[in-house]
Every structure is written in C-alpha cells, then in structure tokens.
Structure 1
Amino acid sequence: MTTSHQEHPPLSGATLALGSLCVGLAGFMTVLDSSIANVAIPTISGNLGVSGDEGTWVITVFAAANSVSIPLTGWLTQRLGQVRLFVGSILLFVIASWLCGVAPTLPILLTARVLQGAVAGPLIPMSQALLLSSWPKSKSALALSLFSMIVVTGPIVGPALGGWVTDSYSWSWIFYINIPVGLLSAGGVWALYRHRDTARKKIPVDIVGLLLLIVWVASLQVMLDKGKDLDWFSSTTIIVLAITAAVGLALFIIWELTDKNPVVDLTLFKERNFLGGTVSIAVAYGIFFGTLVLLPQWMQEYLGYRAVDAGLATAPLGIFAVIGAPIMGKILPRSDARIIGTCAFIGFAIVYYMRSFFYTDINEGFIILPTLLQGIPMALFFAPLTVIILSGQPPAKVPAAAGLSTFARMFFGGIGTSIANVIWNNRTILHHEILTNQSSPTNPMFNQQIDAYHSLLHLGQGASYALFDQVVQKQAAMMGLNDVFYGSALVMIVIIPLIWITKKPRKSAAGSDAAAAAH
C-alpha cells in the first residue's frame, strides 16, 4: 500500500478534495449496501414468497462471498494494479446491484448477492490505499479520520434510507441506488487516478487454497441457513454439509500451512497479538452484526413498524461513532489500546443488557436509547483492536495481517447473523411451548383473557383462541430476543481476556496502518 506514496506525489487543492470524495463514495456504497437491506428483509421475503429466515440469506450470502474474496485483494492488486482493480470492482458492483434489483425469485437474488459480495471484497482495502496515496504522509491520520467518518455514516443512512425507499417505492431500489453512485465514483477515480496506477506483475495464486476456502465457508454458511428448515442433523443434507465443512476446513489449514504462496497466511496466528485481537474482533463483530439484523426484523414482524420507522429507530447507531472517529484518532496514539478495547466490550455488554429488558408494548424511545449509546463502544472498537492486531508485525506482513483479520471479521459477520437467527427461533419456540402449557382451562388468568375476547371483541371461541395464540407468539418472540441480547452481553464480557493475552502495542507506524484497516 505504500508504493503509491513513493511513486506518486500527493494530490492537492480541488483535485485532492474531488479524488477523496470519489474514493470515499465507493467505500460508503459498500458499507451502505451491507446495512441498507436489513430493514427490507420482511418486505423482500413477502414479495418473493419466502419466510423471514430465508430472507436473511440476502445478508448472509453477501457477507460470506465478501469474506472469501478479501484475501484475494493483494494478489489482484499486483496482477491488475490498484486503480484498474478498484474501478473494475466498482463497475462489477454496479452490474451486480442491477441484477439484485431485477431478480424475480430468491435463488436469482441470492446469486446476484453472491456476485455483489465477491466483487465488493477489494473496495474497502483499495479505497483506503488510494486515499493514503492522495494525501501527504504528514496528514495521513486526518485522511483516515475523514474516511472513517464516511464509512461509519453507513449505519446512519443505510437503515433509514432502506426503510424509506422500501416503503415509498419498492425493495429493488435499495440496490438500484448503487448504480448512479457507483458510476460517479468509478468515473471520477478513473479520470483522476488512471495515471497513478501501481505496477503490475505476474505472481502465482493459490488456486487449491482458494477452492478449499470457498468449499468450507459455503458449506458452513448453507448448513447454518438451512439447518432449521431441514431439522438439523436429522437431515442427510445437513450432515453432508457439516462433514464437507469440517473436512474442507481441515484440508484448508493443512494446505495453507505447507503451500509456498498461501492465499491466507495462517502462520500469523502464532503471534499473540494477532491471535487475541483477531479472535476478539471477529466474535464481537459477529454479535454486533447478527443483533443488528434481528432488531429491525423484530420491530416489523411483531411491533408493526413500517420499514422506514424501523430504519429510523436503528439509525442513531452511527451518531456517536461518527463523532468519536476523529477523537479516537487523537487519543489512540497516546493510550493503551487494550484498555480502550476493554471499554468498548464493556460498553457493548451494557447496551445488550439494556436490550434484554425489552417488552412487547415498549415505547420507541426505549428502543432508540441503547441504539444511540451503542455508537460509543463502536467508536472505541475497530481502531484499538486493529492496532493490537498489527502491532509488532514486520511491514511486509502488515497487508496480509490486515487482510486476514478483515476476512475473519466479515466471515463472522455472516455466521453471526445465521447463529443469531437460529438462537432466536429456538428460544422463541421454547418460550411459546412454556407459555402455551401454562394456558389451559384450569388457569383462571387464561379463562379471564378468553372471556375478555368474548365480551369486548365479540369473538367466538375459535377466533379467541387464535388471537390468544398470536399474543403468546408475540410474547415468546420478545422473550427469545431478550435471551439473545442477554447472551450477547455475556459473550462480550467473556472475550475481554483475549485482549489481555496480547502485549501492549508499541507506538509505531502500525497505528496508521491499523486505522486504515479498522473500518
């Protein structure tokens, strides 16, 4: 990533401002697309005639494909050059977005989302590299703070914009809006940066490792997404997928540790800082992203929120994150990143614990408050942990370390979404069964409720029982979601020791690289 600094002078004036805007738009578009679909899942599921659980595949397959393509960024950069790779990825992303919008069925939509996630892999790393090459070295911290603010606005704009577009037009437009943004970004970057491209050279690619990576990631993701529908390990399909994922992972690890040019450098996990930092950031991001998907889904399915209202209720997440990004850039170099990371996990735990007390007729303000507060640990989360991950790495290994940690984070984001849905569904079924068992003609409260339906709503016995079952289901779903939030709070506390098996990061240039990879 540093070659562009050495070969080309930084931009200045209006050219610098326009170049930063065009590069930042690509990063913004990528992050926006990972969050804009969250509030549209119930609508997409209904329009395509599939269940809400199947609808979440729109999110998980994007994350899985994105995570698989990230390790290829370094190889593609050397084969194609930074600018060609960046512009090509943007244009392919635009095409994939159009295919998502016109998809008439879920399988076609998922295929388009896989393509979209795969071509999005290089966009964030390359946008950071191009941005760093545009600014003077002395102002790299300012450049990265600006980029962080651009990227972090995704959680603010994404849900609200996605909800408004879905309610006002159709869900297809959450993908169509990428087209003008992508074309503007690609055109601007090509006009300003095509003469600043990095040198190209032919280097070998680990095809076997890449294929094994795709096999075990895809098998695991499909197993988690289809497990509930196929009744888990009573299904031959799930058993085959589980075996394929396990064998594929084992072969992948063996191959990558013995190949001369591995697609993923697993030897990085020998370093304490990389191991502790990567595992903690991946698990925490999986929890964060999984619960971020569940919240608007619950609000629409059980509280009757419109998509736009669910989006506005989750949008405050990014407010403190945006405010805190430049502040963190100044505090981090003078602080112990382990302490800041610990504060982030404690902050996340507090937010999830607050959410574990939600109830069915909750006021919107009580939903927004923990979402707003969650922006504080978000501001304390990415940069310190990435400083820990990259600290002590030789310069030659920094790109590989940043790429592998990003892969782990994105992979766990998709896995976390699937696991959160599975746990919510299982806990909802359990609570529904318990509540139903307590509701019998021998229970005076049950009889009183049924009588109220008779007298106040003039419902017959069958209609009264059906209405009561809806109330029970709503309560069970609420209790199941509270269990997910409570478990998330516990896991955030449990993974704190992972930060403290690491050594205190040295104050070095790794800080700038960490900030670049943080988002």
Structure 2
Amino acid sequence: MLWVAALMLAAANFIAVLNMTIANVAVPGIAGGLGAAASQGTWVITSYAVGEAITVPLTGWLAARFGSVRVFVASMILFGIFSILCGISNSLGLLVVARVFQGLCGGPLMPLSQTLLMRIFPKEKAGAAIGLWSMTTLVAPVVGPILGGWLVDDYTWNWVFLINAPIAIGFGLYAWKLLKRYTDVPVRNPFDVVGLILLVIWVAALQLVLDEGKNLDWFASNQIVALSIVAVIGFAAFLIWELHEKHPVVDLRVFRHRGFNAAVLTITVAYAAFFGVSVLTPLWLQSFMSYTATDAGLATAWTGVTALVVAPLVASSKRDPRLLVFFGVLWMGLVTLWRTIANTDMAFWDIAIPLAVMGFALPFFFIPTTAIALGSVEEREMDSAAGLMNFLRTLAGAAATSIVTTVWANQTTRNHAELVGVVDQDRSVRTMMEHGGMTPDAINQAIDYLITTQSGMLSTNQVMTGIAVMFIVAASIIWLAPKPTRTIEPGAGGH
C-alpha cells in the first residue's frame, strides 16, 4: 500500500507540472477552435502559471490552517473538476478563468505530495519514494509537449485538459481513504489578509512580465514597464510585511537556515538551466530541423528514460549529498558544452544520445538537493519550506523560458545579418545554381534558407554555451551548504 500511495502522490505532482507545458503546443489549435487570435491564445498558458505561482508559496499556511491531507485531497479533486471545465469551454474567456482556478488548485499539489511522501514512508524507504517524486518533476516538462502535440494532432485540443480529470478526481477520492489517518490538527492562526493581497499583486505582475515580455518587446512596452514597477514595489512591501507579521501567510523565516538557502539557490539556478535546455531543444528541432512536435518530443524524452534508471541508486546512496549534487550538476554542464558543437547534419540519435547522457545526471542533482533543503529546516517548517522551494523552482522555469526564447530569437536575427554579408562572396554557389537551371528567385530563396538554418544553429549553440556556464555556477553553489547533520525523518512535514 505504501508504494500505491507513492505512485498516487507522484502522479499528483506529475499532472501539476505537466500542465505547465502540455498546452504550449496546443495554443494555435485552441485559438483557432475558439475563434481567438494566436496572441490571445497564450493567455491559456499565462493564466495557469499565475494561478499556480500564487498558491505554491501559500502551501505552508494552507496546510497549517486546514491540514495537509485535507488541502491535498481538495486540491486534487478540484483540479480534476476545473480540468473538465477547461475541456468543455466554448469561449476563450471561460477557458482562461478555468485555467486560473486549475492553476490555483495545482499549486499545492507539488509541495504537499512531497511532504506527505516523507511523512508516510519509513526512514529506510523514504529516499526511494522521493526519488520517484523527483523524477516526475523533471520528466513532466519533457512529456508535456509530446502528449499535447499528439492529442492535438490526433484528437482535439479539448483532450489536453480532459485527460487530467480521471487521474485527479480518481486519485483524489482514493487519497482520502489512504491518507486520512495522517490528518493533522489544524492550527487556527489569524488570517494575514494584507500578506495575501501583496503576494497576489507582485506574483501576478511578475508572472505577466515573464509570460508577455517577449510578445510585447519587453521594456519597449509601457505595459511591461508598469507591471515591472508593480512587481518590484509589491515584492518589497510583501517582504517587509511578512517579516514583521506574527502569523505570516508565507513563512519567510525558513531562509534563516544556511543549508536551505544554498540548496534552494542551487535548485533555482540549475533548474532554470535545465528548463532552458528543455525549451530550446524542441524549439530548435521544430523550427530548423524539420521535426514534428512528436518527433522532437521523442528525441528529448530520452533524458527522462535514463534518469529513471539511475534514480533508485542515487536515492539509496549514503555519500555526502553535496558531492552528489556537485557531480550531477557539473555533469549536466559538461554535456551541455558537448552540445555546443551541434550542426544541421545531425541525425536523430546524434541529438538523442547527448540528451540521454544528461539524463543520467538528473537524479544526482534533484534528489540530494531536495534532501539537503528539507533536511536543513525544522520539521514544523517542512510544508512552508517545500512550498517556497517549489515556488522558486517554478519561477525559475518561467524566467528561463522567457529569457532563453528571447535571447535565441535575437541571436538568430543577429547571426542572419552577419552571415548575409559573408556568404557566397565569390558568387560560386549562385553560379552553380544558375548552371543547374534555377531561376533568380529560387536561388535567392535557397540561399536565404541556408543562411536562416545556419543562423538558428549558431544561435542554439551560443545559448547552450550560456546555459552550460549556469550549470557550472550552480554546481559550485552547493558547497555553500554545511554538511548535513541529520536526515529527513519519517513524519517530516507535520505540525
């Protein structure tokens, strides 16, 4: 029964993380199906991200107020209900509202599935269970675009959302039966209304900046400038209020632990780099290598396959977790450096093999880093710590997506401009094409296609270089954490 519970809790985390990316490839189909512009369709992604970003850091307060098990079960069932509402929406407005509520319900699933696993598993088996949970966090963003592309191509966009419902509602109902004996006594602390309002304001503003910045040309847009000012002022006011509030809605005092800070900073930087790779690879494959969404997904899926093979070994390791993290994140950086020599003549396995090799390193990064972070705080702070850790990781993924896609597009344009001035200066290629019977227009189109493809390839390699540096920096940060003096005990995450 323990492993049934582990599978159920891991599945809860999986669907929450999956829904961050599953709709990305479905946006054109959704916009077309609901009679909206493609630019409006991106609100389907933004609305979920905003809802999720608001409730993830609230997890600690919600768990204390209502009980971890009650919040988890309610979130699962409501997630399924709002997934159905998303799937049957007949207008973009209704879909966006349903996605906000789906995100609000999905937020607590990530940290609570993690802390409940640690609570119900005995000490000797907790590592393997957390390993399973960790892999869902890393595999779900990769699976999302594959699954979304397949559902849109072979069925309709509605199934992108409806597929969540039986898992969320079924597991939610079963979770109560399985976990109700672990229900904790709620703590009726006063409700921090001001803290909640400030949290909603700055998180929503920041998420909108990250999601819409690229579409609106960043700070050339008055809207982005205004949202950025709101986010900065709101964040400053939130920090001041929460640090002085007796019963804060988000317990920022967990940052007094050096081990937690170092582990969370490592997770944030390394996950941003990993998410950057996960976003950039299928984008490059589909834009410049003529891959379909499904084929691009199959190439990137090898990262998850190899990660699952190694995870049990890492989870049971007795070595200093800082050494495991350093080794894993450095490995990811070196593999990313390997990928900076990619070219447009690469076959499927030339692309898939480096991704599979990177997958071996993922468990070394994620499993011990999580253990260091949660092992550094007091047991009563576990839910708050998990919520904040997942919040910063989610925010890092959103920031990485915006920054990587923007830099990649700008660098591609810059490379194109430079290559136009140096390609075929002796006109030998043009002469060869003319002798082959091609018209001047066809020759121009062919040369421009070659330049565009190589510009994209160069840009991909350049961005990969920057991401590799991020991995190496992240690997070094973990040594700021003191050597762990305790392991995570069963029952952790309680109050």
Q: TM-score, normalised by structure 1?
A: 0.84
2:448 is equivalent to residue 469 of structure 1: yes
CA distance in 2, matches of 1:45, 1:456: 43
Aligned CA distance change for structure 1 residues 88 and 205 (closer, same or farther; 3 Å): same
> Residue deviations 1:59-107, cap 9 Å, x none?
5654443232112222222333333322221222123323443456766
| 2:99 pairs with one of 107, 113, 117 | 113
Q: Match for residue 271 of structure 1?
A: 257
Q: Match for residue 12 of structure 1?
A: none
Q: Match for residue 204 of structure 2?
A: 218
CA distance in 1, matches of 2:67, 2:139: 29
Alignment of 1:195-206 (within 5 A): 197-206=183-192
Report the secondary structure of 2:361's partner residue.
Answer: helix
Task: Indicate if the aligned counterparts of 1:67 and 1:406 stay in contact, CA closer than 8 A.
Answer: no
Task: Indicate if the aligned counterparts of 2:375 and 2:487 stay in contact, CA closer than 8 A.
Answer: no
Alignment of 1:5-404 (within 5 A): 16=2, 18-37=4-23, 40=26, 59=45, 62-102=48-88, 109-136=95-122, 139-148=125-134, 154=140, 157-194=143-180, 197-331=183-317, 334-404=318-388
Q: Match for residue 481 of structure 1?
A: 460
CA distance in 2, matches of 1:61, 1:187: 26
Report the secondary structure of 2:344's partner residue.
Answer: coil
Q: Which has the higher mean CA deviation after the structures are superposed, 361-370 or 61-70? A: 61-70
Aligned CA distance change for structure 1 residues 140 and 265 (closer, same or farther; 3 Å): same
* Letter matched to residue 78 of structure 1: A
Q: Match for residue 412 of structure 2?
A: 428
Q: Mark the runs of 5 or more structure 2 residues left unpaired by the alignment.
A: none
Aligned CA distance change for structure 1 residues 102 and 426 (closer, same or farther; 3 Å): farther
Q: Match for residue 429 of structure 2?
A: 449
Report the secondary structure of 2:19's partner residue.
Answer: helix
Aligned CA distance change for structure 1 residues 35 and 287 (closer, same or farther; 3 Å): same
Q: Match for residue 469 of structure 2?
A: 490
CA distance in 2, matches of 1:353, 1:432: 23
Task: Indicate if the aligned counterparts of 1:64 and 1:414 stay in contact, CA closer than 8 A.
Answer: no
CA distance in 2, matches of 1:105, 1:354: 46
Task: Indicate if the aligned counterparts of 1:22 and 1:184 stay in contact, CA closer than 8 A.
Answer: no
Post-superposition offset of 1:336 = 1.6
CA distance in 2, matches of 1:115, 1:374: 35
Aligned CA distance change for structure 1 residues 136 and 335 (closer, same or farther; 3 Å): closer
Q: Match for residue 391 of structure 2?
A: 407
Task: Indicate if the aligned counterparts of 1:341 and 1:499 stay in contact, CA closer than 8 A.
Answer: yes
Task: Indicate if the aligned counterparts of 2:263 and 2:478 stay in contact, CA closer than 8 A.
Answer: yes
Task: Indicate if the aligned counterparts of 2:128 and 2:316 stay in contact, CA closer than 8 A.
Answer: no
Aligned CA distance change for structure 1 residues 91 and 450 (closer, same or farther; 3 Å): farther
Q: TM-score, normalised by structure 2?
A: 0.88
CA distance in 1, matches of 2:222, 2:433: 45
Post-superposition offset of 1:181 = 1.6
Post-superposition offset of 1:453 = 4.7
Post-superposition offset of 1:378 = 0.8
Post-superposition offset of 1:405 = 1.7
- Give % identity: 39
CA distance in 2, matches of 1:149, 1:414: 19
CA distance in 2, matches of 1:510, 1:134: 12
CA distance in 2, matches of 1:403, 1:481: 33
Q: Match for residue 438 of structure 2?
A: 458
- Aligned residue pairs, count: 493
> Residue deviations 1:89-147, cap 9 Å, x none?
12221233234434567666554433322211111333344444544555434443454
* Letter matched to residue 420 of structure 2: T
| 1:510 pairs with one of 476, 485, 488 | 488
Q: Mark the runs of 5 or more structure 1 residues left unpaired by the alignment.
A: 1-14
